Homo-oligomer: A and B are copies of this chain.
Amino acid sequence: MTRTLTGTPKADGFRMPAEWERQCNCWMVWPERPDNWRLGAKPAQEAFSRVARAICDHEPLTMVVSGGQYLNAREHLPAQVREVEMSTDDSWMRDTGPTFVINDAGELRGVDWRFNAWGGLEGGLYFPWDHDDLVARKVLEMEGVPMYRANFVLEGGSIDVDGQGTVLTTEECLLNHNRNPHLTKAEIEHNLCEYLGADKVIWLPRGVYLDETDGHVDNFARFAAPGVVMLTWTDDQNDPQWEISNEALAVLENATDARGRRLEVVKLHQPGPIHITADEAAGVDHIPGVQPRVEGERLAGSYVNSFIGNGVVVLPVFDDVHDEDAILTYKRLFPDREIVTVPGREILLGGGNVHCITQQEPSGSR
């Protein structure tokens, strides 16, 4: 077993780097479950492959694949992608993978959070989730990265960091009774700071409207740089998202980060709203206990849900009137990175987007 550490990253001088810091690898999981991904996940596999291709031109990428899909995935992926076999329940590496932390000497460690499929038996998205709960641990053991095991339910998409002491999260998710109901808000803040090596938590009330993750912050508001936050927005006052986004804007405009800076908020107008078509819904297996995919259901589309890698940002677009503005905003925010767009609708149909299906491993030694 990889070395299991007592204590916490913060106590040991470790912190979660910001996503724009140097990475040595990006982790993804190959999608396949036919009760979440339509048409036997074949369109999703193509969409994930597009994301992998965009990333692996810029940094190493490891694709986690089940035994049954090992050879098929190989046919779809570029030769330089490293494939490793692992059992999973679905394909959201942001939420099931480890959170990597480093110290000033560049040593690398990982946090293995508890995972309950976004809410366990009270509003979670599927049962069982035993394979997914082992993903972080298996990754760390395979790579020989020492591990902290946090006795705390958390998905990586529910937090965002600036790498300088500040954590962004939502009350809708982190205070949800289906995550860590035995802990107070203060105790949850303490855990976040200890395991992410942070000093301050900024709480937004809610995430994107109807986001099935219970409002993951990574689909709604994320740091683009220290002191700069991207926020999902709408100009339509009749859209339920309007109130949610304004509520968050007020919080952000009145907040300071861990270093005492005021925050610049950069609005990214949401696409759509996007709804599931009859055709799309018809391609998904219906299994009791698994989140259904129903015609007409509104999807939580967002341009915030991108991946920031070495020299690149991979941005989902939706063949939408707002695509162009999103691209321009990203170009302004990340002038030194290539902005590569990928079709985001197929990933969105499964419940998330580019950020949700990726997990960066910062450069460091073991």
Residues of chain A touching chain B, judged by Cβ–Cβ distance below 8 Å, are 1-2, 67, 70-71, 74, 77, 79-87, 131, 134, 138, 141-142, 144
Contacts and interface: CB of A to CB of B under 8 A. Distances in A.
Contacts of A79: 1
Contact of A67 (B1, B87, B141): B87
A2 B82 contact: yes
A87 B66 CA distance: 9
B1 A74 contact: yes
A81 B1 contact: yes
A84 B1 contact: no
B70 A1 contact: no
A3 to B, nearest CB: 8
Contact of A70 (B67, B80, B138): B138
A74 B4 CA distance: 13
A351 to B, nearest CB: 23
Contact of A141 (B1, B84, B138, B141): B84
Chain A contact surface mostly? mixed
A1 B82 contact: yes
27 contacts: A1-B74, A1-B77, A1-B79, A1-B80, A1-B81, A1-B82, A1-B83, A2-B82, A67-B67, A67-B86, A67-B87, A67-B131, A70-B134, A70-B138, A71-B134, A82-B142, A82-B144, A83-B141, A84-B84, A84-B138, A84-B141, A84-B142, A85-B85, A85-B86, A85-B87, A85-B138, A142-B142
Contacts of A84: 84, 138, 141-142
Tallying the copies of this chain within the complex gives 2
A70 B137 CA distance: 11
Contacts of A1: 74, 77, 79-83
A86 B142 CA distance: 11
Contacts of A144: 82
A129 to B, nearest CB: 14
Contacts of A83: 1, 141
A122 B324 CA distance: 63
A333 B80 CA distance: 45
Most B CB atoms within 10 A — which of A70, A84, A85, A141?
Answer: A85
A194 to B, nearest CB: 24
Contacts of A74: 1
Nearest to A82: B141
Contacts of A85: 85-87, 138
A70 B141 CA distance: 12
A115 to B, nearest CB: 15
A269 B142 CA distance: 41
Nearest to A68: B87
Contacts of A82: 1-2, 141-142, 144
A2 B77 CA distance: 12
A274 B35 CA distance: 52
A38 B142 CA distance: 30
Nearest to A85: B86
Contacts of A134: 70-71
A2 B79 CA distance: 8
A85 B83 CA distance: 13
Nearest to A74: B1
Given A67-B87, A84-B141, 9 more contacts: A1-B74, A1-B79, A1-B80, A67-B67, A70-B134, A82-B142, A85-B86, A85-B87, A85-B138
